[in-house]
Amino acid sequence: MLKLSVVVPFYNVQTYAPDALKSLELNARDDFEFLLVDDCSTDGTPELLEHAARRLPGAVHLRRETNGGLATARNTGLDAARGTYVTFLDGDDWLAPGHLARVLAAIEELGCDFVRTDHVQVTGRTRTVQRIPYGPQGVVAAPRTAILPADRSSSVDYPYAWAGMYHRRLLDAGILHFTDGLRTAEDRPWIWRLHREAASFAAVGMPGIFYRRGVSTSLTQIGDERQLDFIRAFDQVLSETAADREADLLLPKAVRTYCAIISHHIGSQERYEPAVAKKLRALCADALGRMPQDVLAEALDGMDAERSGRLRRLRRRASAGAAL
């Protein structure tokens, strides 16, 4: 069996794909495979991947017939993965030379289900190291212990699938797949499930992934209806957490995070198309109504005045509209 499978989705990133592919070449080993998933690109990306599949050791070009989004494209790669370990890269990002081998050595030495790494955020010419919000480094722990506290950033608030490496037993157990069809926030239900259901993990630092922000083709830069998938993603987080054996302990964190994301989207709704902004407000109000109201009240009381005020106004408007 191969040692490592690297799942790399691509969609209309012909400007950036050469950097990603070159970085894979600088990480290649005889026991690595690179699953290059073309999510039905309409630019020159497919030709770049065809060329890479011929010259990059271990590369396999997988072509989707329809565009399914990042979650579905990653699942396509996971279904084909043969390695003992699995990791991810996005088609507009890149790796430092030798990064994969270093992370692989760390997870093998630790013997845990998964490791999480830091990364380098790239915005234009600015590069900033982003650390996983978890203190101990190189220490194996139960992933559940890294979900809380509810009122501070924790490991589930660092959802980047590519910032880590995962043992195949998680894939075989059904933990590594993403919710098909999610166009954004696809990593939120994924990271919560990972921390609830895996047995062991460790944070190892190693910021060797370069994450490109501000890419015009990224959904984070587009204000159309696909952005609203965060509602479906966080509804899934809430429903699965509510069914967990430690629901009373974990729900305050899930609700507070959902509220923070809603506040962020409502606070920047001017970037949405007008019809989408209207739908955003309605969906967010409905989402607040679906939350356990005692937990929601506690979350709002613990948030800063700007965010809690924004959410309380949204609730009042929704209640007033329902009364008419």
CATH of residue 98's domain is 3.90.550.10
Domain boundary among 180, 204, 220: 220
If asked whether residues 317 and 189 sit together in one domain, one would say no
| pLDDT (tens digit per residue) in 113-124 | 999 999 999 999
CA quadruple 101, 106, 108, 114: dihedral sign: negative
Bridge partners of 166, per DSSP, are 86, 114
In this structure, the answer to whether residues 306 and 207 fall within a common structural domain is no
**Is the domain of 196 the same as that of 239?**
no
One domain, residues 165 and 252: no
Do residue 264 and residue 275 come from a single domain?
yes
Q: Indicate if the pLDDT at residue 125 is higher than 70.
A: yes
Two structure tokens written together for 312: 């309380």
Is the domain of 61 the same as that of 141? yes
Give CA 12 to chain center in angstroms: 19
Are residues 165 and 239 located together in one domain of the fold? no
Mean pLDDT computed over 297-308: 95
Domain that holds residue 234: 223-323
Shared domain for 45 and 112, answered yes or no, is yes
Residue after which a domain boundary falls, among 220, 239, 273:
220
Query: Which structure tokens are listed for 198?
Result: 């895996």
Q: Do 262 and 215 sit in the same domain of this protein? A: no
Residue 324: per-residue pLDDT: 37
Separation CA 152–CA 161 (nearest Å): 21
Shared-domain flag, residues 154 and 198: yes
Residue (of 211, 197, 209) closest to 241 by Cα position: 197
Domain boundary among 167, 190, 220: 220
- Each residue of 16-31: pLDDT tens digit? 999 999 999 999 999 9
pLDDT of residue 285: 96
Judgement on whether residues 69 and 85 belong to the same structural domain of the protein: yes
Does residue 245 share a domain with residue 203? no
CA nearest neighbour of 110 among 135, 143, 139: 139
DSSP state of 98: T
Apex 61 CA angle, 60 and 67, nearest 5: 140
- Peptide bond preceding 292: is omega within 30 degrees of 0, i.e. cis? no
At 1 the pLDDT is 75
* Percent of all residues in the chain with a pLDDT value above 70, rounded to a whole number: 95
Q: Please state the domain count of the chain.
A: 2
